[in-house]
Structure 1
Amino acid sequence: MHLLYIDESGSAGDRQQKHFVLAGISIFERQSYWIASELDKIAERINPADPMSVEFHGSPIYGGKKFWRQFEKEQRFQVLKEVLGVFAQSNISNRIFVCVFNKEKISPNDPVELSFEQIASRFDHYLARLHKKNDTQRGLIIFDKSTYETTIQGLATDFRTIGHKWGVLRNLSEVPLFLDSKASRLIQLADLVAYSAFRKYEHGDDQFFSIIEERIDQVGGVKHGLCERL
């Protein structure tokens, strides 16, 4: 089974921000323990006395907020790069899916709904490609608990029964699950991937996204895992 951990960056309703990002990391189930363990090791170095209190979230680390206020900017940026590097160095079967919308270009449509439709259908197509190669796998989408939970659950049910613009989701084993990011290093990693993409598109800062950009799902140079409407 492939697990797609998804989180967003940028606020769908904030008029001061031009872009909304939804990003997911697709991880083969046997890889999830290794990645989480590597992230735990980083947390242990940061706070040996209480590593589980260390949470990897892009905006607080970048801005030096709350727990991260005690660290210099260079140290915080290094943490972001090291965590993203764990995914970049993981098994090649692990992929990234990213959807970036300029909110003005899609108005009055809801960026949350449109981006989830894109991510879910592209993940489903990825699993269908594996099936054609005799590697039949089911998928499960996992979100951070958020205000979008009701919207996402309803959309996912519709996609599996009524369909989306490009068909019906056929390779997912269940409707999306929602976890507290405090309990999941992989949700935290998805947060950092989404934030790194937001930094690139909103601020022209590519120092973080460049670390994991090659892991976007692609075939023959075509980036199936990237949706941009800029």
Structure 2
Amino acid sequence: MPKKKTKLEMFEYIYSKEIKTGSWITKDEMAENGFFPKNNTNGRDIRFIKRKYDLEIITVGTREARFRIVGTKAMLLRRPISKKIKDFFTNKRCVLTGTRSSIEVDHKNGRYNDKRVLSTKTQTVNDFQPLTKVANNIKREHCRKCAATNKKFDAKELGYLVSTLDGNLVHNNKSSGCEGCFFYDVTGFKEDYNTVLSTCFGTNNPFTEEGFHEYYKKLSKRNSSGP
């Protein structure tokens, strides 16, 4: 006699496409598929999904109306940071707030899709940045949204004149895809942003986004090729 599927296994079977693509799932749809009583909106408990997956949830009032999956809880177990790197960031200031309280060592790559960075043998200090717990939670939320939409955080929301350094708001799902985003490297973003503005623009050369991105790419190419 075949083994009966658990509730989670049934969910993963029915919504395999939505799990893979990060598409929205509504509780009304789940009710139609027999996961909850159709007419009882208060009894639609998805804790069995939350135990395994990280979710982005849209609420209507106090009710969780729809959600999508942005990762698995198990991913947290595969993000080790070497003691040497942790020690390096001890007493460092948060690159976002400038404070030293509740500092966490943050993976710059919020997708965690670079095998080199996920190994304590090959990761380097430059793969991380110090953030306060609150700042790290804010960044993590933006990374989750990016993972679900492939759209990076828009730095114009913080008053910058460009959305990203390289002009590319779309994440390419590669390990290099986070580069250029404000939250990927807060210190690097600020330094490169100020360098381009002070070097490329002035009274006789008014600012344009196109000109900014063009100069930034030249600057990056120069820096990567070395002296």
Sort the TM-score into its range (normalised by shorter chain).
under 0.3
Higher fraction of helix = 1
The answer to which structure, 1 or 2, has the higher relative contact order (CA under 8 A, 6+ apart) is 1
TM-score under structure 2 length normalisation: 0.23
TM-score under structure 1 length normalisation: 0.23
